[in-house]
């Protein structure tokens, strides 16, 4: 694992990159990992690799797309190395409202995550990138090496598949 980086240790342009995209990369890593400590590791390793290889950035995509691609590749490498799957987190984020609303929201959220967990690729990842990673369809398309329209269609199909699975339960 790379040593923890702070913006002060980075070159001026690297510091800006870190400050600008840290939360987006971390959110994306949380989407991939479902675990805060692993997401932090993925994020730190992403920026370490980006700073180490910043001369390799060709500008074919946006910086955040490049960083998310690095994060995805690192995550895939880690999963291959571990050869095990991550469980769905037990504690889902709760929203405001009464106890009954929280119970319904938690149940709905759990059902969505169960449906999402069983969704095949690339539907699952496209849905997670859009909802949890808050990436645009253009950025999602770039990560997959596809078009923006492909990302839109894949996301729409993922939503339909999730809805179908939720309706069946």
The backbone torsions φ and ψ at residue 93, rounded to the nearest 5 degrees and listed phi first, read -65, 140
DSSP per residue, 8-52: GGS-HHHHHHHHHHHHHHHHHHHHHHS-HHHHHHHHHHHHHHHHH
- Regarding pTM above 0.85, the answer is no
**Which residues fall within 8 angstroms of residue 112, CB to CB, at 6 or more apart?**
162, 166
From residue 146, alpha-carbon distances to 65, 140, 151 in Å are 13, 8, 7
* Residue the block writes with tokens 């390793």: 45
CATH of region 7-87, choose from 1.10.3720.10, 1.50.10.20, 3.40.190.100, 1.10.1740.10: 1.10.1740.10
Highest mean pLDDT among 76-80, 146-150, 163-167: 146-150
Tens-place pLDDT, residues 108-157 = 777 777 777 778 888 888 888 888 778 888 888 888 898 989 988 898 88
């Amino acid at each position: 694992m790379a040593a923890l980086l702070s913006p002060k240790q980075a070159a001026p342009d690297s510091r800006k990159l870190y400050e600008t995209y840290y939360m987006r990369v971390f959110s994306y890593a949380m989407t991939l990992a479902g675990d805060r400590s692993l997401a932090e590791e993925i994020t730190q390793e992403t920026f370490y690799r980006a700073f180490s290889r910043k001369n390799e950035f060709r500008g074919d995509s946006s910086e955040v797309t490049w960083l998310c691609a690095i994060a995805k590749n690192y995550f895939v490498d880690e999963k291959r190395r571990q050869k095990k799957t991550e469980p769905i987190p037990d504690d889902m984020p709760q929203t405001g409202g009464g106890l009954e609303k929280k119970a319904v929201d938690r149940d709905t959220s759990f059902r969505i995550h169960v449906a999402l967990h069983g969704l095949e690729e690339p539907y699952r990842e496209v849905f997670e990138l859009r909802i949890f990673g808050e990436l645009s369809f253009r950025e999602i398309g770039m990560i997959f090496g596809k078009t923006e329209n492909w990302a839109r269609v894949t996301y729409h199909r993922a939503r339909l598949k999730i809805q179908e699975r939720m309706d069946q339960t």
